[in-house]
């Protein structure tokens, strides 16, 4: 447990990750098509080479290099064409390229025996029975030949355990015959939210009447957790009483989960019962406050062998702390090697009229929009007001600008780091850096 000031962001993150670092969800074999976004649980070794044979990188003519060296328009080489190699052809059935002969070949087709270069059709007269070659550039270097095993060697570890499978990974795995893929099961998250003032969308009339507010986190938070790869069970809203919350936590645990996640009730208000309810169901706490804004009142611990994360109830604080702490926890449990949001250097927009004030000794995470400066450097500007109840600025933001505890004023033009929203699809207008633009580092 920590004092009233709480842990620094770095210490809080290490504490949270330390509690789950040795935990992983079980291995399961899934069809290749169902593996997108999951993490490999084992290394994958290829049973064949890619490409499986030497093949042509261009449409043209397979030849011996020595036969075309010195060819030019003034002194062309004329070679009889003795056959054709098409993509998918059986290399054992192709004619042998003897000295002074050529085989017509298509991109990707196997190289016929005896040939060690491909003359592009553009460097010839495209003849069918004989070909006139008027340039020897294709006899240089690799000669437009893709060697066997250039991409993958037989017996090679293609991807290591922990690799997050994207579309290109699936293509490679298909190429090496991996119909079933060993992955970690998606972590199961039980999400419990409390608050007498909250309703779901089916009771929106109460919000229209000014009597209640819609629990936006009931919809936004599961979406973020699912983007992290979790299987989320959203439990019914819980009234602000100790007995109700204790019962809800017990039910969530009895239903089975890899992570128990709560929102609201983790601070020190008269109706903040989460920590007491957690103790009633056998839980322990590691810390309950971090020196960050938004999201200072955050708790973490374990109950019945299950990691617990207690997120604050304000909508922005909920999503920020979920990004900072829940996302890495879920990615760790699911076996991903990369678990943290991408951290990138950015320049605070120099055109801002004033510095951004961060007076308290806390690590601030400011919601910012990113754009490309005239010199090609990414620039960050506030997405709007930074109140923890202002959810729309979360939707407008591309990233969180990280302002360390020791910085009180963020000056326009200064360099800092930003955490990209891990589920965001960032689309920036691109402009080429001006000639001689300086390279910036943070």
Residue 147 pLDDT grade (very low, low, confident, very high; cuts 50, 70, 90): very high
61 and 112: one domain? yes
Query: Could you report the per-residue pLDDT of 221-258, keeping only the tens digit for each?
Result: 999 999 999 999 999 999 989 999 999 999 999 999 99
The reported pLDDT for the residue numbered 275 is 87
The reported pLDDT for the residue numbered 427 is 58
The reported pLDDT for the residue numbered 240 is 87
221 and 289: one domain? yes
Whether 432 maps to a domain, the answer reads: no
Range of the domain at 397: 343-420
Once rounded to an integer, what is the mean pLDDT over residues 316-336? 96
Once rounded to an integer, what is the mean pLDDT over residues 370-392? 93
Q: What is the CATH number of the domain that holds 75?
A: 2.170.190.11
Once rounded to an integer, what is the mean pLDDT over residues 12-26? 94
Whether 338 maps to a domain, the answer reads: no
The reported pLDDT for the residue numbered 439 is 41
Number of domains in the chain: 4
Q: What is the CATH number of the domain that holds 177?
A: 3.90.105.10
39 and 179: one domain? yes
**Mean per-residue pLDDT over the chain, rounded:** 91
Whether 434 maps to a domain, the answer reads: no
Once rounded to an integer, what is the mean pLDDT over residues 312-325? 94
36 and 180: one domain? yes
The reported pLDDT for the residue numbered 422 is 81
Query: Could you report the per-residue pLDDT of 178-192, keeping only the tens digit for each?
Result: 999 999 999 999 999
33 and 179: one domain? yes
211 and 282: one domain? yes
Q: Which of 292, 321, 293 is nearest to 309 (CA)?
A: 321
Residue 426 pLDDT grade (very low, low, confident, very high; cuts 50, 70, 90): low
Whether 442 maps to a domain, the answer reads: no
> Which residue, of 296, 312, 333, is where some domain finishes?
333
The reported pLDDT for the residue numbered 253 is 97
Q: What is the CATH number of the domain that holds 354?
A: 2.40.340.10
> Which residue, of 333, 363, 392, is where some domain finishes?
333
> Which residue, of 333, 351, 377, is where some domain finishes?
333
177 and 190: one domain? no
197 and 180: one domain? no
22-31, 225-234, 429-438 — which is least confidently predicted? Answer: 429-438
The reported pLDDT for the residue numbered 435 is 45
Does residue 334 have a pLDDT over 50? yes
* pTM passes above 0.75: yes
Residue 268 pLDDT grade (very low, low, confident, very high; cuts 50, 70, 90): low
Whether 399 maps to a domain, the answer reads: yes
Whether 430 maps to a domain, the answer reads: no
Whether 427 maps to a domain, the answer reads: no
The reported pLDDT for the residue numbered 433 is 44
264 and 302: one domain? yes
Does residue 432 have a pLDDT over 50? no
The reported pLDDT for the residue numbered 375 is 93
360 and 258: one domain? no
32 and 139: one domain? no
Whether 433 maps to a domain, the answer reads: no
272 and 314: one domain? yes
Percent of the chain with pLDDT over 90: 83
3-12, 104-113, 135-144, 269-278 — which is least confidently predicted? Answer: 269-278
Q: What is the CATH number of the domain that holds 311?
A: 3.40.980.10
């Amino acid at each position: 447990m920590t004092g009233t000031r709480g842990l620094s962001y770095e210490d809080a993150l290490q504490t949270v990750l330390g509690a789950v670092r040795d935990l992983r969800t079980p291995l399961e074999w899934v069809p290749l098509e169902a593996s997108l976004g999951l993490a490999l649980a084992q290394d994958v070794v290829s049973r064949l080479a890619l490409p499986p044979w030497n093949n042509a990188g261009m449409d043209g003519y397979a030849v011996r290099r020595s036969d075309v060296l010195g060819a030019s328009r003034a002194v062309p080489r004329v070679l009889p064409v003795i056959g054709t190699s098409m993509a998918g052809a059986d290399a054992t059935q192709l004619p042998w390229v003897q000295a002074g002969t050529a085989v017509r070949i298509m991109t990707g087709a196997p190289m016929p025996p005896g040939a060690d270069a491909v003359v592009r059709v553009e460097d010839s007269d495209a003849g069918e029975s004989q070909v006139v070659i008027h340039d020897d550039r294709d006899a240089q270097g690799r000669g437009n030949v893709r060697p066997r095993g250039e991409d993958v060697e037989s017996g090679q570890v293609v991807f290591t355990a922990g690799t997050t499978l994207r579309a290109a990974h699936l293509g490679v795995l298909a190429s090496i015959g991996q119909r079933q893929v060993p992955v970690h099961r998606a972590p199961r998250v039980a999400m419990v939210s409390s608050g007498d003032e909250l309703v779901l969308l089916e009771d929106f009339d109460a919000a229209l009447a000014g009597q209640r507010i819609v629990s936006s986190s009931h919809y936004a938070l599961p979406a973020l957790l699912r983007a992290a790869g979790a299987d989320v069970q959203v439990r019914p809203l819980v009234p602000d009483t100790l007995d109700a919350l204790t019962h809800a936590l017990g039910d969530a645990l009895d239903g089975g989960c890899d992570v128990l996640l709560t929102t609201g009730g983790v601070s020190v208000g008269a109706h903040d019962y989460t920590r007491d309810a957690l103790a009633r169901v056998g839980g322990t706490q590691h810390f309950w406050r971090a020196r960050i804004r938004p999201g200072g009142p955050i708790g973490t611990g374990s109950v019945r062998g299950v990691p617990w994360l207690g997120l604050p109830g304000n909508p922005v604080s909920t999503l920020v702390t979920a990004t900072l702490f829940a996302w890495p926890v879920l990615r760790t449990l699911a076996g991903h090697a990369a678990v943290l949001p991408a951290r990138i250097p950015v320049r605070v927009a120099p055109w801002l009229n004033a510095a951004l004030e961060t007076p308290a000794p806390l690590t601030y995470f400011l919601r910012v929009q990113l754009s490309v400066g005239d010199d090609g450097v990414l620039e960050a500007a506030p997405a709007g007001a930074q109140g923890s109840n202002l959810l729309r600025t979360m939707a407008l933001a591309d990233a969180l600008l990280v302002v360390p505890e020791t910085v009180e004023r963020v000056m326009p033009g200064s360099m800092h780091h930003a955490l990209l929203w891990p589920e965001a699809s960032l689309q920036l207008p691109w402009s080429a850096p001006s000639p001689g633009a300086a390279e910036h580092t943070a």
